Structure 1
Amino acid sequence: AERRTAVAEFVADIPLSEADVSWNALQKSANNLSNLDVPLLLVWGGRDRVFHDRFLADLLQRAPHADVHRFPQAAHLVPLDEPMAAIASTWLENVLGSNSVAEQPAEDSSGSDSFVAITNGLLSRCNDDEAAFTDRNGAVSWKSLAHEATDIARTLVRAGLSVGDRVAMLVPPSSDLLAASFGVWLAGGVLVVADSGLGARGLRTVLRGAIPKWVFGTSKTLSAAKALGWTPGARMICTSRFPHAISLTTHRSSTAVDLPELRPEFDAAVVHTSGSTGPAKPVRYRHGALAAQRDVIVESFRMSAEQGFLTSFAPFILLGPALGVPCVLPDIDVTKPAELDFDRFARVIESSRVDVAWLSPASARRIVETANGRTIELRLVMLAGAPISTQLASSIAAVTGADVRSPWGMTEAMPITDGVGATTSVVDGTNTGKPLAGAEVMVLSLDESVRQSLPNGEWGELAVHAPWMFDGYDQQWGTEQRSELMVKGQRFHRTGDLGLLDGNGDLHQLGRVQHALFMATRTVPSVLVEDPISTKLGRQVAAVGIGPVGTQVIAVVVQAEGKLRLASAEVTAQVRQCSVFEIAAVLEGELPVDIRHQSKIKREVLAVTASEFLAGR
């Protein structure tokens, strides 16, 4: 205890009330923070029990120009838990190199004259009695959905929600989620969205990191949020009733309330990536980008206000009201898209006027497997969420008679290509079509010392620019710096995907950078090893690198039931016979896939498992 006297005296000297002698000095310092004209970097620990995220929110309110990098797993002493020196060094180089002074965040007013808010699609049909959304609970009309969203917006504004306030959305995919989301937008709020596939611990990490002022949920999800500490200090809004929450069943009022006019520079959403290709990242969007995304989807894929679409991607239901297009969510567990078989698929199409289906590969694969020679007519099928094989695209085309496309994109910028070419067989990866009007794609050398743009036909890391691109990674300054590339004054996003542009300008996707095989003599995208083998065997396969980067050898794992094991002599011979690469080992077993899409193979996990198996552990 005597050794901790200095710590005790330090804590005792913290001015916690106006009676403390240094209270006024502290308040003066805090108030003067907003007047600083020097660059400021805040490096924060997400697990700090002393200076928790509400302190960070307070600092950002006083100094909105600050750059922030938040380490979700770091505690009170960040340097002991994370390599913050590299971030601080890079930040200082940027600041000293630009000889800059701090500036308030710039307001992007580009396109403001022609800006039409993302909420317009819903409000423009506010007197329409046709179905806007249909799920297992029935149909909800445009009129009802628009009225509900507007009513929620007025309730939120009346309760004190201000423009820019963040709202964690914990409402399951349903018409309630649509009304809640568009109500938050109409009130000027910012949606904070995370994938339930992250699990309780993952949700706690990402939601706390967003520092929402509000949390919107059902009594069940609010109970979980409160018990597990997902959104500490946030005011609660409940679709039904919950203690200390604003209840939408009792707090309604017909009193008119002025709603804010949305502008393109306003923050609109913080959407967390699924975590299927690395740690979940908080992707920040502005209203201008969402409006541009809506416009490019309507123009590129001829979405019809009368026909509508069905989707096995739960987040995509938000596109329906945004586009002013009816949307149908099939009667499946949204976390298990492979439940969508042909019978359920056909029932949805026959009972509703949809001519477009937006499917995950797992859903498409299940529909094909259960069709048994039956067909159902559609105009367009969009496949997204993971690389699409030509065989799968051709099979779903045969079942639906549709134009099948596999547009390429990611949470940070979606879509980037038109997806034309999904059924065209190519020798290198997946043909995702040509870049959409307004989108630009560069292919970068993997050699960081060169970092040059490669000509058509050569593969490398894909970087993209588009008006509907994300604004940045929220409170992830270091991550944003690594992914950002400025070319002639335009901001490009380094996607982490591998690919090439062919002689026709089509983009071929070749998997992820971290899944490439880094051998002693060459580096090869895993897809180039996998595709010929998968085609020959008619089974899913994954190629992983065994050993240190730069000296890896290739192991191929063929999909089969059961634990990982050596493949039979027959399968091993088939694999080696159809590959131009030297295969060190051929294994069989279950391929681990992500939760959201049930399609993205977790090659990092598989590589570790295969390495341990081959080492005899």
Structure 2
Amino acid sequence: MTETLDVSKQANLCRHLAHAAITTPKALAVAVQKSQRGQLNYREIDFKALHHQSDAIAYALNAYGLKSGMKTVLMVTPSIEFFALTFALFKAGIIPILVDPGMGIKNLKQCFVESTPDAFIGIPKAHIARKLFGWGKTSVKKLLTVTEAGSGYISGASADMFASLIGGMSLTALLKRYPMKKGQKFEMVKLSDDDMSAILFTSGSTGTPKGVVYSHKMFEAQITALKEDYGITPGERDLATFPLFSLFGPALGMASIVPDMDASKPITANPDFIFAAIEKYQCTNLFANPALIEVLGQAGVPDFSATKGLADASANKPTIKLNSLKRVISAGAPATLPSIERFTQLLSDNVPVLTSYGATESLPLTKISSADLLATSHITDNGGGICVGSAVNGVEISIIAISEEVITVWSDELILPANTIGEIVVKGDMVSHQYYHRDLATAQAKIIDGDTVRHRMGDLGYLDEAGLLWMCGRKAHRVETGTDSKRNTFFSIPCERIFNTHSAVKRSALVAVTIYQKSVPLLCIELTEEAKQDENFDGTALFSALKGLALAHKQTSAISHFLIHEDFPVDIRHNAKIFREKLAVWAQDELD
């Protein structure tokens, strides 16, 4: 009896790595930068070695008792070990659970309670935190300690001793105990397109973190978008500042160059390290969130004039030029137009900064070039929202009425006409179908559409006549006043951008407060550093000017209350997502 091949089970992200290991075996796959004693050092690995190393780890993990379908927390800093381990997990069908360490101790513990991991793979610091805070103590049965060669962490015999103290093994000891035979190959697990391949937790910056179930189809759709919509080709080199995106490098036949930085706090990155890595490897692609775009722009163009839109040629420090870059991709939060304008001075002519819109649940969805984005600045500054561009191939975007109600089944009758603000709903292969063990959250965010699912983004916006998407802020951040018969709705981004045009305003945040038992809109203002240091700064004059701006625009004409806040609470990853809920409490206390 002949065995029938199950064509429905052919998916595995690592097929791309296996292909690169055959077609370009000696090409650079990953390079990791480390700063040690004032010197920048680099560790490198080619595609053939990365493929072989991940095979060996996958084999050893299976021998250790981790099998296809089991789940493991992966808390390993970006390194060659991180890449080899992640690809090994995918090859073995073991589901990695990826979390943002910056989400806080309480949220991290909740993530591990919900995801019920079978194993915990992490650096020593992660294991110490696991022991201290009881992460995964009811479900974790296997422990693995990972140390990066040359990182300064404990290594060798010390790593083995540490691992034995916590009741597990070190990665080095694992590979020694369960070695693959010479010439042996690991048969990667083949799964269905919709089978779970990973659990990625949202950052929790706009609510409780939720585990997003990633399928192989989602990863493949993201790889396809990077090839077709962003034009990434084999042989390119990516300066990778975000761990998840960096994994796509080897899958695209593109080298991932990892700078020495804390990926969870990009605003703390040393720009000189990043510039050095780009120069050394002649990187063609840079993925950077808005906070890093701001940091690099300030370092690279120190005397940029926002009014002139160029660098001051008389300045002592010249502008840094990143001539090898062919494109820059920015995602995670809306970048400010001045920061993009400044950063483009580092790039060669006609090299775009491509701003992408999306979320952990679905990314990328749209893109827009820096030139096109800057051309819309007059609309943004006058309360028209932020243009995030047109949909990438295979993505369908719709706008529906703002509602907190669960929508079970999709109907085209839900779609609002062009230029009408509502909730953004998306459909495509890169759109997730569910949250892990969060049935209520899944019901609130997902709409069944035949044999697929549409996702409610929780963001508000509108589509114009040309099909361009304009962002107007989070649904939870809108402010509503009045009664049902006469209700006024204020949207965060359109309102805030009007006030942000004032030279003394660094950023603003729309919140609702109660005055005389009525809900009213109020703008919290964070001043620029120049305004803070100005001995002659006049808050009364500022508020008068802001009221004038408010009256000049329909969107803000009813806003007349302002408060200055010293330093906005923001998420540590993007330094852009403002915790408006905290500001609302602060503002109410100030008024009471």
User: What is the CA–CA distance in structure 1 between the aligned matches of 2:368 and 2:132, rounded to whole Å?
Assistant: 44
**Cα distance, 1:259–1:503 mapped onto 2, change above 3 Å:** closer
Mapped partners of 1:362, 1:484: distance in 2 = 30
Unaligned runs of 5+ in 1: 1-108
Q: CA deviation at 1:301?
A: 0.4
- 2 CA distance for matches of 1:117 and 1:449? 37
1:287 paired residue number = 216
Show the counterpart of 1:423. Answer: 374
SS of corresponding position for 1:118: coil
1:560 deviates by 4.9
Indicate the larger mover: 152-161 or 547-556.
Answer: 547-556
SS in 1 for 2:390: coil
Partner of residue 356 from structure 1, selected from 280, 285, 290:
285
- SS in structure 2 of the partner of residue 433 of structure 1: strand
Separation in 1, partners of 2:14, 2:374: 35
2:345 is aligned to 398
2:410 aligns with none
Distance 1:550 1:517, change over 3 A: farther
Q: In 1, distance between residues paired with 2:8 and 2:277?
A: 39
Unaligned 5+ segments in structure 2 are 1-5, 35-41, 147-158, 303-310, 312-318, 408-413
Residue 395 of structure 1 aligns to which amino acid in structure 2?
Answer: R
Counterpart position of 1:303:
232
Q: Does 2:305 match 1:334?
A: no
Task: Give the match for residue 133 of structure 1.
Answer: 30
Aligned 8 A contact 2:524 2:583 in 1: no
- Structure-1 residue corresponding to 2:520: 552
Trace 1:100-499 onto structure 2 (pairs within 5 A): 112=8, 117-126=12-21, 128-137=25-34, 138=42, 139-232=44-137, 233-239=140-146, 240-241=159-160, 242-243=163-164, 244-252=167-175, 253-255=179-181, 256=184, 258-340=187-269, 342-371=271-300, 372=302, 373=311, 374=319, 375-377=321-323, 378-401=325-348, 402-420=351-369, 421-425=372-376, 426-427=379-380, 428-447=384-403, 452-487=414-449, 490-499=452-461
CA distance in 2, matches of 1:450, 1:192: 28
Aligned AA (1:126)? A
**Contact 1:404/1:423, CA 8 A, preserved across alignment:** no
Question: How far apart, in 2, do the equivalents of 1:559 and 1:328 lie?
Answer: 37
CA separation in 1, counterparts of 2:524 and 2:173? 59
Q: Distance in 1 between matches of 2:280 and 2:441?
A: 46
Contact in 1 for aligned 2:418/2:462 (Cα 8 Å)? yes
Distance 1:135 1:235, change over 3 A: same
Contact 2:103–2:205 (Cα < 8 Å) also in 1? no
Q: CA deviation at 1:118?
A: 1.1
Following TM superposition, by how much is the alpha carbon of 1:350 offset from its aligned partner in structure 2, in angstroms? Answer: 0.9
CA drift of 1:500 comes to: 0.7
Partner of 2:151: none
- Residues 250 and 312 of structure 1: is their aligned pair in 2 closer, same or farther, counting only changes over 3 Å? closer
Distance in 2 between residues matched to 1:567 and 1:205, nearest whole Å = 46
Identity of aligned residues (%): 25
Q: Distance in 2 between matches of 1:607 and 1:322?
A: 44
For residue 39 of structure 1, what is the aligned residue in structure 2?
none
Match of 2:569 in 1: 592
Instruction: Give per-residue Cα distances to partners, 1:556-596, cap 9 Å, x unaligned.
Output: 3233578xxx9701221222222232333222221111012
Which of the numbers 545, 549, 556 marks the counterpart of 1:574? 545
Query: CA separation in 2, counterparts of 1:400 and 1:368?
Result: 10
Q: 1:583 aligns with which of 559, 581, 589?
A: 559
Greater relative contact order (CA < 8 Å, ≥ 6 in sequence): 2
The question of whether the paired residues in 1 share the 8 Å contact of 2:398 and 2:424 is answered with: yes
Deviations 1:70-94 (A, max 9, x none): xxxxxxxxxxxxxxxxxxxxxxxxx
TM-score, length-scaled by structure 2: 0.80
| TM superposition shift of 1:290 | 1.3
- In 2: Cα distance, 1:512 partner to 1:545 partner: 14
Question: 1:489 Cα shift?
Answer: 5.4
Name the SS of the counterpart of 1:168 in structure 2: strand
Aligned partner of 1:106 in structure 2 is: none
Instruction: Note the C-alpha offset of 1:488.
Output: 5.3
Q: Note closer, same or farther for the CA distance 1:496–1:567 as it changes in structure 2 (3 Å cut).
A: farther
CA distance in 1, matches of 2:240, 2:66: 32
What does the per-residue CA deviation read over 1:130-174, in whole Å, with 9 as the maximum and x for residues that have no partner?
322222242232222222111110001122222111011121222
| 1:121/1:323 contact within 8 Å kept | yes
Could you tell me whether the CA contact under 8 Å between 2:498 and 2:549 is conserved in 1? yes
Secondary structure at the aligned position of 2:126 is classed as helix
Aligned to 1:535: 501
Q: Is the alpha carbon distance of 1:547 and 1:305 closer, same or farther for their aligned partners in structure 2, counting shifts above 3 Å?
A: farther
Structure number with the higher strand fraction is 2
- State the one-letter code of the partner of 2:392: L
Superposed CA RMSD in Å reads 2.5
SS in structure 1 at match of 2:244: helix
**Aligned pair 1:613/2:590, yes or no?**
yes
Displacement of 1:454 in angstroms is: 0.9
Query: Which amino acid in 2 is paired with 1:200?
Result: I
CA contact (8 A) 1:148 1:179 kept: yes
Q: Separation in 1 of the partners of 2:518 and 2:232?
A: 47
Deviation at 1:231, TM superposition (A): 1.9
Cα contact 1:271–1:284 (8 A) shared by 2: yes
Report the CA distance between 1:410 and its aligned residue.
0.3
Moved more, 584-593 or 502-511: 584-593
| 3-state DSSP of counterpart to 2:333 | coil
Amino acid at match of 2:365: I
| Residue identity opposite 1:600 in structure 2 | K
Q: 2:580 aligns with which of 603, 606, 609?
A: 603
In structure 2, how many angstroms separate the alpha carbons of the residues matched to 1:288 and 1:513? 28
Structure 1 SS opposite 2:274 = helix
